[in-house]
C-alpha cells in the first residue's frame, strides 16, 4: 500500500507474525552485536576486564534500546505502507552508522559516530510516533505525542553528551539511560499502546536466536583460525564442544515455556522487556567468552586460566538466571522445578574453577539441566 492512516492494531489479531521487514531489521543488528562482542574479546584478552565490561554494557545498551523501541512500536502500529517502510530503512541505516562507531566509543570514549547513528534512528522513530499521533485521537494521541517529545528530549541529551568533559561522560550516560527507560512508563501511564503479546514474544525469541547464532559464529571462527595456526586440538576441542552444548542448552531453556502467556499488560511486559537487556547481552557475551578461552588455550590472551573460564561461565550463568527470573519461574510447579535453573547457574559459575576443562563442564551442566527439566515436566504431566 502506498499510504494508509496509521492507527493502532488490535491485540486480539489472529496469526500475528514477524514481517520480512522486521526480520531484515533484526539481521542488520547482527553487525552491531558482532562489533560489541569483538571489542569485548579484545578488552578481556588484554586483561582490561573492568573497562571491557563497562564499555560492552554501554554500547550494547544502544543496540538493545534501539531494537526494543522499534519492536514495540511496530507491534502496535505497523501499517506496512511505503512511508513506514522508508522510515524503517532509515532506522536500519542508523544502526549501521552506530555499529561503525562502536570501536571508538568502546576504546576511546568517543561517541560521535554512535550518537550520529542514534540521531538517525531516533529521528525516524520520532516521525513514526508523530504519524501515529496524527492518526489517533484522545488518550492514544497524547501517548504518541509524549513518546515523540520524549525521544526528542533524550536525543538532544545525547548530542549534548558529546560536548561534556570526557571524564564525566559515563556518569551523564547513566542519567540519560535512566531518562530513556522512564519514557515508556510516563507515556503509557494513562493509555497502553496495543502491542500484541504473541508478536512481542516471537520478536524477542527471534532476537535471542540471533544473538545465540552470533555466539556460534564467533566461536566457530575463533576455533577454526586457531586450528589453522596451531595444532592444539587437545585444548580446543573441549572448548568447542562445551560452547556448543551451552548454546544448545540456552536455546532449549529459553523456549521451554510460552512467554506470551505472561504478557497481559504493561505491568508484566515492561519488566520482562527491560530484563531482556541482560539476556541478550549475556547471550552475545558467551561467544566473546569462548573466543577469549580459545585465545588463552593457544597462548594469545594475557589473562589467567580462571579469568578466561569466567569469561564464559559468568554470561552463561547470567543468561540462565534471568531466563528463570523473567518467565520460567512463573510456569514451574514445585520446589524441584523451581530450583533447576538457579542451581544450574551457580553450578556453571563453579565450573570456572575446574581448570582447562571448565567450558566443557559448563556445557555438560547446562545439558544436564535440560534433561532434568524435561524429566520433571514429563512427570508432572503424567501425574507421577
Dihedral (Cα; 337, 341, 342, 347), 10-degree rounding = 120
pLDDT value, residue 199: 93
| pLDDT tens readout for residues 213-264 | 888 877 777 667 666 766 667 778 888 889 889 999 999 999 988 887 788 8
Distance CA 123, CA 91 (A): 8
Give me the pLDDT at residue 2, please: 87
- CA 9/CA 5 separation, integer angstroms: 12
From CA 282, how far away is CA 378, in angstroms rounded? Answer: 29
User: 103 by DSSP, 3-state: which?
Assistant: helix
Tell me the torsion sign for CA atoms 25, 31, 37, 43. negative
Please name the residue that has the C-alpha cell 538493545: 64
pLDDT of residue 59: 93
Q: Identify the segments of the chain with pLDDT beneath 70.
A: 222-223, 225-227, 229-232, 383-384
Tally of CB atoms within 10 A around 241: 14
Residue written as grid cell 497481559: 264
Give the pLDDT confidence of 347-382 residue by residue, as tens digits: 999 999 998 899 999 999 999 999 999 998 888 777
- The contacts of residue 357 (CB under 8 Å, 6+ apart) are 238, 242
For the four alpha carbons of 218, 219, 221 and 222, in that order, the dihedral sign comes to: positive
Amino acid at each position: 500500500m502506498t499510504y494508509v492512516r496509521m492507527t493502532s492494531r488490535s491485540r486480539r489479531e489472529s496469526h500475528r507474525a514477524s514481517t520480512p521487514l522486521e526480520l531484515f531489521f533484526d539481521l542488520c543488528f547482527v553487525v552491531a552485536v558482532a562489533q560489541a562482542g569483538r571489542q569485548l574479546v579484545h578488552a578481556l584478552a588484554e586483561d582490561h576486564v573492568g573497562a571491557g565490561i563497562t564499555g560492552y554494557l554501554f554500547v550494547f545498551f544502544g543496540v538493545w534500546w534501539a531494537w526494543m523501541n522499534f519492536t514495540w512500536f511496530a507491534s502496535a502500529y505497523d501499517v506496512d505502507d511505503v512511508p513506514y517502510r522508508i522510515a524503517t530503512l532509515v532506522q536500519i541505516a542508523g544502526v549501521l552508522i552506530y555499529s561503525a562507531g562502536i570501536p571508538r566509543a568502546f576504546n576511546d570514549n568517543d561517541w560521535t559516530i554512535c550518537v550520529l547513528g542514534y540521531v538517525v534512528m531516533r529521528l525516524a522513530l520520532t516521525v513514526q510516533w508523530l504519524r501515529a499521533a496524527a492518526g489517533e485521537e484522545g488518550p492514544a494521541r497524547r501517548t504518541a505525542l509524549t513518546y515523540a517529545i520524549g525521544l526528542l528530549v533524550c536525543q538532544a541529551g545525547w548530542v549534548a553528551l558529546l560536548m561534556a568533559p570526557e571524564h564525566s561522560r559515563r556518569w551523564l550516560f547513566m542519567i540519560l539511560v535512566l531518562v530513556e527507560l522512564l519514557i515508556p512508563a510516563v507515556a503509557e501511564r494513562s493509555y497502553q499502546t496495543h502491542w500484541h503479546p504473541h508478536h512481542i514474544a516471537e520478536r524477542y525469541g527471534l532476537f535471542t536466536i540471533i544473538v545465540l547464532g552470533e555466539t556460534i559464529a564467533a566461536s566457530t571462527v575463533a576455533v577454526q583460525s586457531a586450528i589453522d595456526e596451531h595444532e592444539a586440538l587437545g585444548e580446543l576441542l573441549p572448548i568447542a564442544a562445551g560452547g556448543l552444548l551451552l548454546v544448545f542448552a540456552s536455546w532449549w531453556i529459553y523456549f521451554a515455556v510460552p512467554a506470551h502467556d505472561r504478557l497481559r499488560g504493561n505491568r508484566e511486559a515492561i519488566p520482562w522487556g527491560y530484563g531482556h537487556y541482560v539476556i541478550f547481552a549475556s547471550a552475545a557475551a558467551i561467544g566473546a567468552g569462548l573466543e577469549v578461552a580459545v585465545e588463552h588455550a593457544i597462548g594469545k590472551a594475557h589473562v589467567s586460566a580462571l579469568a578466561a573460564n569466567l569469561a564464559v561461565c559468568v554470561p552463561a550463568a547470567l543468561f540462565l538466571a534471568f531466563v528463570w527470573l523473567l518467565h520460567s519461574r512463573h510456569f514451574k510447579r514445585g520446589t524441584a522445578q523451581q530450583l533447576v535453573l538457579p542451581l544450574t547457574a551457580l553450578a556453571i559459575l563453579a565450573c570456572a574453577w575446574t581448570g582447562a576443562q571448565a567450558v566443557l563442564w559448563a556445557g555438560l551442566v547446562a545439558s544436564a539441566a535440560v534433561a532434568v527439566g524435561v524429566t520433571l515436566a514429563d512427570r508432572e504431566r503424567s501425574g507421577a
